[in-house]
């Protein structure tokens, strides 16, 4: 009897809270946006179901239901406003103070990447971002392109063994290839993961997107005690251990190399009037090694930055840096396999740039000439968004261009999957038309690397890596769809990927 009374009182409190909530000034502001009426306690969460891989698809269906425009959605007591209009997207990305990431997203990410630059705010975020920025400056790009070109050779040895015979899973080889490039250009070490695509790090990092997505959308996982009793929790902790252990090994390897560089510099510059620290700083800046900057950095109290802090930044950078570029390159090749006439046009552009020397490795100047290839990459991202959503957690009310107000405390989500299908911005969005990106468009219609103060710090590196890799591949091979039954099964996780890999056929060109 007592338990029945308690349950009755609990239900009454839930309905009372819901009654007050829907008569609040906050709800009045939210009601200006289209959306389904949320249920007490659950909000609209039950509409997402219990399969996180289907969540983005269901949100896309709701966007279509509500007129293909910015809309609202509630999960429990948390409110989201999903932006799909370029004016709305520009408003939040240009904001100078609303820089915090959504609570749900940070909760899902922090077990893996701690308080890294992706999730942190304030001084920690500002200082680390400033420290990293010089490693991604345009004057370091030429050296990074040389690293990409160098790593293409072992990749081609593998691809040559597949050409004309069987399909190749692009994910399997492009992921270690991109990881090796990232380590060589930003960490100052040779990782050689391409020689062992079954490396434990690659296996673990392959699980991260799935686990993070389920942490984000499977709300019961926020109940720590309950989640800690499940096999999913055990899998997550083992994955985290592998990721962090790999980062620790990279730190120790580069620290040994860095110490040798410092000792050699000290030995060669014994003049007491020389500013040795300045010489070492200039030497390392010219190399553009991001890890060196982290290893030599100091915290606010003047002490060296702790290895735990460096590990968090390194784990994030190694993962996101290799995974997002791999997906974009792979998905672009998949689209070119589906649309051979567009692939032919890409090859024609390559011929016009390199003339008869199609085996030449590209320079930054030549990459800048590849306007059509760049348009193809952008259209591939539009059709298969690499990153599905980004967002901000509002600390204050946000007024949009049309006068509507998103109340403080709301998660503002830039819903790329819907924004890139907006027919008002992208006519005939179901068609693959790279030429659309050769014409002017709204500045915030297509911002896959975000924009404003919290944009992707490595976007220049990503662009040169993607363009150089695709240029080298497409001048060496024709790309064809995989065999029947190998069609990719794309799922809109935090990063879009195919659950069954991505297989294509390669045919070596006669040059």
- Which residues participate in the annotated binding site for heme? 456
DSSP state of 305: P
CA distance 262 to 277: 9
Residue written as tokens 């920690």? Answer: 124
For 97-112, b/e burial (b = at least 16 CB within 10 A) is ebbbbbebbbebbbeb
For 306-315, b/e burial (b = at least 16 CB within 10 A) is ebebbbbbbb
Q: What is the DSSP string of 350-418?
A: HHHHHTT-TTSPP-HHHHHT-HHHHHHHHHHHHHS-SB-EEEEE-SS-EE-TTS-EEPTTPEEEEEHHH
Q: Do 432 and 383 touch, CB atoms closer than 8 A? A: yes
Q: Do 163 and 506 touch, CB atoms closer than 8 A? A: yes
CA distance 73 to 45: 8
Task: State the CB neighbour count (10 A cutoff) for residue 238.
Answer: 12
In whole angstroms, how far apart are CA 461 and each of 186, 346, 478? 10, 21, 26
Helix boundaries (H) for 66-190:
86-93, 103-113, 122-133, 141-162, 170-182
Of 413, 411, 403, the C-alpha closest to 32 is: 403
Structure tokens, 506: 């390669």
In whole angstroms, how far apart are CA 387 and each of 244, 368, 450? 23, 24, 10
DSSP state of 47: G
Q: What is the DSSP string of 123-141?
A: HHHHHHHHHHHGGG-GGGH
CA distance 179 to 315: 12
Residues linked to residue 75 through DSSP beta bridges, in sequence order: 43, 78
CA distance 503 to 488: 7
- Where does residue 488 fall: left (phi above 0), alpha (psi -120 to 50 degrees), or beta otherwise? beta
Residue 357 Cα to chain centre, angstroms: 34
CA distance 330 to 334: 6
């Amino acid at each position: 009897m007592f338990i029945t009374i308690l349950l009755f009182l609990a239900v009454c409190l839930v309905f009372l809270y819901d009654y007050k909530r829907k008569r609040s000034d906050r709800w009045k502001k939210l009601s200006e946006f289209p959306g389904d009426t949320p249920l007490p306690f659950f909000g609209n969460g039950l509409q997402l179901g219990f399969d996180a891989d289907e969540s983005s698809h269901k949100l896309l269906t709701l966007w279509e239901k509500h007129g293909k425009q910015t809309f609202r959605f509630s999960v429990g007591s948390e409110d989201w406003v999903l932006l799909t209009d370029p004016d709305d997207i520009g408003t939040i990305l240009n904001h100078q103070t609303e820089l915090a990431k959504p609570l749900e997203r940070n909760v899902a990410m922090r077990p893996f990447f701690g308080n890294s630059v992706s999730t942190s705010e304030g001084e920690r975020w500002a200082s680390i971002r400033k420290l990293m920025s010089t490693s991604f400056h345009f004057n370091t790009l030429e050296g990074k392109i040389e690293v990409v070109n160098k790593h293409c050779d072992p990749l081609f040895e593998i691809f040559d063994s597949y050409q004309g015979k069987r399909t190749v899973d692009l994910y399997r080889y492009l992921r270690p290839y991109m990881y090796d490039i990232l380590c060589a250009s930003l960490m100052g070490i040779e990782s050689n993961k391409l020689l062992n695509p079954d490396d434990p790090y690659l296996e673990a990092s392959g699980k991260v997107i799935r686990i993070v997505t389920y942490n984000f959308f499977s709300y019961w996982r926020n109940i720590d005690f309950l989640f800690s009793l499940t096999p999913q929790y055990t899998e997550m902790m083992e994955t985290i251990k592998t990721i962090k252990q790999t980062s620790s090994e990279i730190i120790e390897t580069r620290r040994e190399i860095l110490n040798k560089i410092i000792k050699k510099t000290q030995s060669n510059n014994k003049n007491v009037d020389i500013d040795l620290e300045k010489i070492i700083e200039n030497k390392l800046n010219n190399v553009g090694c991001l890890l060196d900057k982290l290893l030599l950095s100091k915290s606010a109290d003047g002490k060296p930055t702790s290895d735990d802090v460096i590990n968090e930044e390194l784990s994030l950078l190694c993962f996101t840096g290799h995974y997002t570029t791999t997906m974009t390159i792979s998905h672009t090749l998949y689209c070119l396999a589906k649309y051979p006439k567009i692939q032919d046009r890409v090859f024609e552009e390559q011929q016009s740039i390199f003339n008869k020397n199609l085996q030449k490795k590209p320079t930054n100047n030549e990459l800048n000439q590849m306007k059509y290839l760049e348009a193809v990459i952008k259209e591939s991202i539009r059709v298969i968004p690499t990153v599905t959503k980004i967002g901000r957690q509002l600390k204050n009310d946000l007024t949009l261009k049309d006068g509507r107000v998103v109340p403080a405390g709301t998660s503002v989500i830039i819903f790329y999957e819907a924004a890139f299908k907006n027919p008002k911005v992208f006519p005939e969005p179901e068609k693959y038309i790279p030429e659309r990106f050769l014409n002017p468009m709204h500045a915030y219609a297509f911002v896959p690397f975000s924009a404003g103060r919290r944009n992707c710090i490595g976007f220049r590196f990503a662009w040169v890596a993607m363009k150089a890799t695709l240029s080298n591949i497409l001048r060496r091979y024709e790309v064809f769809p995989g065999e029947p039954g190998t069609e990719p099964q794309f799922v809109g996780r935090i990063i879009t990927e195919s659950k069954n890999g991505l297989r294509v056929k390669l045919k070596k060109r006669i040059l």
